[in-house]
Amino acid sequence: MPVKEKYYCQKCGKTMDENQFFTYKNGKKTELCKKCLTLHIDNFDESTYLWLIQKMDLPYIPQEWNKIRDMLYEKDPDKVTSQSVFGRYLSKMKLTQWRDPETKRYYGWDDTEMLQAKYAEAAAQHEEEVRQREEEAREKFEAGEISEAEYKTLTNVETRYTNPVAPPPGSINAEIKDPYMSEDELVDIAADLTDQDKIDLAMKWGRLYKPAEWVELEKIYTEMKESFDIQDADSENTLILICKTNLKMNQALDIGDVDGFQKLSKVSESLRKSAKFTAAQNKDDKNDFVDSVGELVNMCEREGFIPRYATDIPQDKVDLTLKDMNEYLHKLVTQDLGFGQQIEDSLKKIQIQKEMNEAEAAAQGGHVELIDEDYAAFIEEMEAQKENDLDIQIENNTDLEEDDV
């Protein structure tokens, strides 16, 4: 498959495939892309496209241009663009019928006058016949004698475009009264807003909204607040964005902007999912909690004991810490057999030391001040006691192991 060449548009600055550019007769591509080159063409105003036909060196045959234009408009007027008619005309002028039979040269802009003169006589007769037929169809349509479909069949697109006609009241084609309420009939929902209300709403939603739009935004906001538990500032800001997006989304749908509606709906969905503002999430949250006594009683009557909500373990971290300390102390006292002896020995040492201090104080007639040797002797005694306690503990553990065997 051959690789398509890339070309640069001097207007929009984009580099695109070769099929996005028209081709001159010499094989070169146009300086502008198709979209930019035909941007300001009005298919019913030849002054907007004659310069382009001359630039492409094509002959201008009005009858051929109108034939292509009318055919496209009859097929689907909403899909007709400035580019589509010109592109079809350019392609048609490359057919062999628009080539000089003697020189085999394709006709160009310089041949326009000759070709139009050639078609002039036949065109004049044809145009007169068309004019009479359309005038007759117009009179019948205005009188209500023929339907709109028959009128469109008997007239061409240019006539209906440049000289539109409406059926008279009372005819079979009379327009049905507008079923929608006019602006004057609508009740002003923002009429009760005070100046302070307007200031508050402008600060909350922005001043680029109409008062009626502020009321609509507040309605959406209130409904969302009632449906979801919103506590933090980030969720609050996301909710405001969702409300604005929903307002613009509804407005786009009302005016028939389907593309805009689809884009806004994707933005709304993304915002809802990021903040968990969805019906499914709301349902899951509600089903996961019992937020009233009535629901609790109903659940107990329906299911009886509910293991999911029953636990004997304290959930507070402080309670867990106290529980661990109690278990450790219980094991230390009941399972460590040498621990009781250690406590008794320590109490005896404290008592002996206390008696010695009192005796020395009595011998000296008052308070005894300790010196460095006293501290050293005390530390040595404590180290010796630790070794003794360790020996006792080892003996006790050995006895326990023998008993287990």
Over range 96-121, report the average pLDDT: 84
Distance, in Å, from the CA atom of 347 to the CA atom of 355, rounded to the nearest integer, reads 12
Task: Indicate whether 170 pLDDT > 60.
Answer: no
Dump pLDDT digits (tens) for 360-392. 777 665 555 666 777 777 788 888 888 887 777
Tokens of 207: 């001043």
Q: Which has more pLDDT, 175 or 77?
A: 77
Distance, in Å, from the CA atom of 178 to the CA atom of 100, rounded to the nearest integer, reads 57
Over range 193-215, report the average pLDDT: 87
Q: What is the dihedral of CA 252, 258, 262, 268, to 10 degrees?
A: 20
User: How many Å from the N-terminal Cα to the C-terminal Cα in the chain?
Assistant: 87
Over range 299-320, report the average pLDDT: 66
Beta bridge partners of 8: 15
Q: What pLDDT was estimated at residue 176? A: 44
Over range 316-345, report the average pLDDT: 76
Sequence-ordered list of residues with C-beta below 8 angstroms from that of 11, at least 6 positions apart, any chain: 32, 33, 36
Over range 38-49, report the average pLDDT: 88
Q: How many C-beta atoms lie closer than 10 Å to residue 253's C-beta?
A: 15
Share of the chain above pLDDT 70, in %: 77
Dump pLDDT digits (tens) for 135-144. 777 777 777 7
Beta bridge partners of 16: 7
Asked if residue 13 lies in contact with residue 21, where contact means CB atoms within 8 angstroms, the answer is: no
Task: Indicate whether 357 pLDDT > 60.
Answer: yes
Distance, in Å, from the CA atom of 16 to the CA atom of 35, rounded to the nearest integer, reads 12
Asked if residue 69 lies in contact with residue 48, where contact means CB atoms within 8 angstroms, the answer is: no
Q: What pLDDT was estimated at residue 360? A: 75
Q: How confident is the model at residue 173 (pLDDT cuts 50, 70, 90)?
A: very low
Over range 214-224, report the average pLDDT: 88
Q: How confident is the model at residue 51 (pLDDT cuts 50, 70, 90)?
A: very high
- If you average pLDDT over every residue of the chain, what do you get? 78
Q: Under DSSP, is residue 6 helix (H, G, I), strand (E, B) or coil?
A: strand
Over range 295-321, report the average pLDDT: 68
Highest-confidence segment of 243-247, 320-324, 357-361, 398-402: 243-247
Q: What pLDDT was estimated at residue 8? A: 92
Q: How confident is the model at residue 311 (pLDDT cuts 50, 70, 90)?
A: low
Question: The whole model's pTM is what?
Answer: 0.36
Per-residue HEC secondary structure of 276-324 comes to CCCHHHHHHHHHCCCCCHHHHHHHHHHHCCCHHHCCCCCCCHHHHHHHH
Tokens of 278: 């969805």
Distance, in Å, from the CA atom of 117 to the CA atom of 136, rounded to the nearest integer, reads 29
